[in-house]
A and B are shown apart, each in its own frame.
Chain A
Amino acid sequence: MARLIVDPLTRVEGHGRVELLLEGDRLHDVKVRLLESPRLFETLVVGRRYDEVPDLICRICAICSAVHKLTSLQALEKAMDVVVPPMAVTLRELLLLGGHIQSHALHLFCLILPDLRDSTDVVDLLRQEDSLAKGGLGLKALGNRIQQVAGGRIIHPINPVFGGVAYSPERSELEALAAELSNWRRDWPDFAKSFLQAGNYPESSRVLGNAVATGQADAFTLTGEHLWHEKTAAVPASDYASLLGERSREDSHAKDAAGEAGPFLTGALARARLAAGRGLPMTISEDNLGIHENNIAQLREIEWALQRAGQLLDLLLGADRAEPLQAQHKAPHAGVGTAAVEAPRGLLVHHYVVDEWGTVVAADIVTPTSINQRVMAAQIMADLADEQNHQRLMAVAERIVRAYDPCISCAVHLVPVAAS
């Protein structure tokens, strides 16, 4: 049996490869291998104090560092019944949106755009003075400036602290951001166009996987108390383990999202599908782009995030600067907390058990790429079942993986091999 190997996968975060097994000229089996070295974050935080854990845990992944920090804070605050004041909630959401815009712009303009232009990378596109690459980097810079202002740093933010935020940004910085956002809302439709042309993507069969995401019933949000799913009723976020089917330690020969309601699809496209199911306005394209429609869903989310960030800035600029930034009572006590937040590339769950002194005694983290890995291999198999050209097989398989916007560093729960 012949075997084609794409290694390393390029223009994706982290180290992974795809193995395509052929029988005759036909694709027979697909393996998506995530080859990150183990980082053991779930044991690393055990024995550490509650207020130190978010600083450590954001180091799982730089692209998702803001959402990791915020999700871990939320879970730990829940475990100890700490209520974060509204100003801090608003600033944290602004930071989350900055990370979202930065990550989506990175994916679309630096990782996907070279495919649309038949180029190797964004630096090459800049050398050719590609205006879309240049403009897209401007949007990415905006995402980073939002993270800088709301989080203090563009990677591993420092402003969110246990119980709230450390400081409120200067008024002048918020005003500058608000002005910049309003310019982008005006210019954005022109930037989005190129990505909407169906001819830019390889043919793809229907999207596999049952969508799963968090969010609210009555508004499109990245945070929520429930997990929405296409095939079952919404469940409380704390029931994540039974929905996703993460195997417990006792029987863990293969730890992945193997729940009966799967295989799961998570990310921008899953969010859009679930939002449409709840009657929320989050439309995607009419063309059938298969999994490549995830790019279009990310475009729509950028548009939404530009709007939402503007609203948050209005709130912050109108707020009384004397409002509290941190919870009044934040003494540690024993407890269990779970938080679910939508990272740019899908559902992220953090779950902690703390003892009476606030020391973490157990941690569990479920990342989007570990949820998606089963469906990635299946999608390659479905899309390329009839393809016989070896070069095209390898190139399109890589583009399919890229469309999910995977973050392999994040996949701390990975199973080394996911076969279709």
Chain B
Amino acid sequence: MKFKTPIKLAWLRFTSCSGCQLMFVNCESSLAALAKIVVLDTFPLVSSASSMNEPVDITLVEGSVSTPSEIERLLSIRRKSRLLVAIGACALTGGVNTLVKGERSMSLAEIYGDQGADWDTFSPQPVHHFVKVDGQIPGCPPERHELLESIGAILQGGWRGHQVMPVCMECRSNENRCLLTEDHAPCLGPVTAAGCNALCPGLGVPCEGCRGEVSESNRDELLNLLIEAGLSEQEIRHRLERFGEAPYGQADR
């Protein structure tokens, strides 16, 4: 697909923390260069520009979908976008929003009182449950370079591809100490898609799996190692489900 610069970029956000779009503004030193090739259109956090029904070239969608009005907004932006890219754990797998257990209306009533019980909302869903997704950028939040590479690759008529290595491989090549086998810490590096340059384990903090499950991961072996590390079954489940339960691995699409 060919694009003429400057391209029109929209950003739609659903149930999320705004971290993915904050990462866009966090590309401080690259924004001046981006300004030459990108025009913002419908990106409420950053811009008041909106041409309403005019088509846009790329829409980034952040957050999981949890209300009927979010579905309507998603469908309408899909219709006017040439490419739609889902970004971040919430959009890809549901993210931490999926951790609310049990009957949703009970939780709503508990926090918001009677008026909460009438809220029209359902369990948070990934974006690909509702519309065709042309590309995915994993992470909670994704790294800045991934966002910039994605926009750059699209401008060249391609896609940056998806990660087939686990975080462990990045630890190996950086010669990090193995937190899982040497320290018996609950590190999810073996089953998590790479791309962050093993940021957390490199600083001695166990991987929490925010980038989703890598394809062909050896989950059984990880479970054994986590049990050896002294974690209970419940603790392991809590740790593995943090960024959305299965499908988990949609990052490979």
- Report A's interface with B, CB cutoff 8 A: 8-15, 36-40, 42-44, 47-49, 52, 55-56, 59-63, 65, 106, 110-111, 114, 120-124, 126-127, 134, 137-138, 140-141, 144, 152-156, 158-159, 161, 166-167, 247, 249, 252-255, 409, 412-413, 415-416
Contacts and interface: CB of A to CB of B under 8 A. Distances in A.
A247 to B, nearest CB: 8
A155 B200 contact: no
Interface of B: 13-20, 22-23, 25-26, 28-29, 31-32, 34-36, 38-40, 43-50, 66-67, 70, 95-97, 99-101, 104, 107-108, 110-116, 119, 121, 140-141, 199-200, 203-205, 208, 210, 235, 238-239, 242
B49 A121 contact: yes
Nearest to A46: B101
Nearest to B119: A38
Contact of A62 (B18, B29, B119, B242): B18
A293 B113 CA distance: 35
Given A52-B238, A59-B95, A65 B113 contact: no
Contacts, number: 175
Contacts of A156: 19, 140-141, 210
A122 B27 CA distance: 12
A253 B17 CA distance: 26
A11 to B, nearest CB: 6
17 contacts: A10-B44, A12-B45, A14-B18, A15-B44, A38-B112, A38-B116, A38-B119, A59-B17, A62-B18, A62-B20, A65-B19, A120-B48, A121-B40, A121-B43, A140-B28, A153-B199, A155-B26
Contacts of A153: 199-200
B46 A61 contact: no
A9 B18 contact: no
Contact of B17 (A12, A159, A409): A409
Contact of A38 (B16, B35, B48, B121): B121
A123 B113 contact: no
Top 7 A-B pairs, shortest CB-CB distance = A62-B19, A252-B113, A121-B47, A120-B49, A141-B28, A126-B35, A10-B48
Contact of B203 (A122, A154, A158): A158
Contacts of A247: 113
Nearest to B113: A252
A325 to B, nearest CB: 11
A409 B18 contact: yes
A114 B48 contact: yes
A155 B23 contact: yes
Contact of B31 (A106, A123, A154, A253): A123
A233 B239 CA distance: 44
Contact of B28 (A39, A40, A111, A137): A137
B51 to A, nearest CB: 11
Nearest to B46: A121
A124 to B, nearest CB: 7
Contacts of B22: 62-63, 106, 155
A98 to B, nearest CB: 12
Contact of A159 (B32, B119, B205): B205
A43 B40 contact: no
Contact of A122 (B31, B112, B242): B31
Contacts of A56: 96, 99, 242
B100 A166 contact: no
A48 B99 CA distance: 10
A42 B200 contact: no
B96 to A, nearest CB: 5
A130 to B, nearest CB: 10
A158 B13 contact: no
A124 B48 CA distance: 11
Contact of B100 (A44, A167, A252): A44
B200 A63 contact: no
Nearest to A11: B48
Given A10-B48, A123-B38, 8 more contacts: A11-B45, A12-B45, A13-B18, A61-B17, A152-B200, A154-B26, A156-B141, A167-B205
Contacts of B116: 38
B115 A62 contact: no
A61 B111 contact: no
Contact of A138 (B28, B45, B115, B238): B28
Contacts of A416: 115
Contacts of A253: 113-115
Nearest to B6: A127
A12 B15 CA distance: 16
A412 B100 CA distance: 14
A14 B62 CA distance: 12
Contacts of B31: 122-123, 126, 137
B47 A55 contact: no
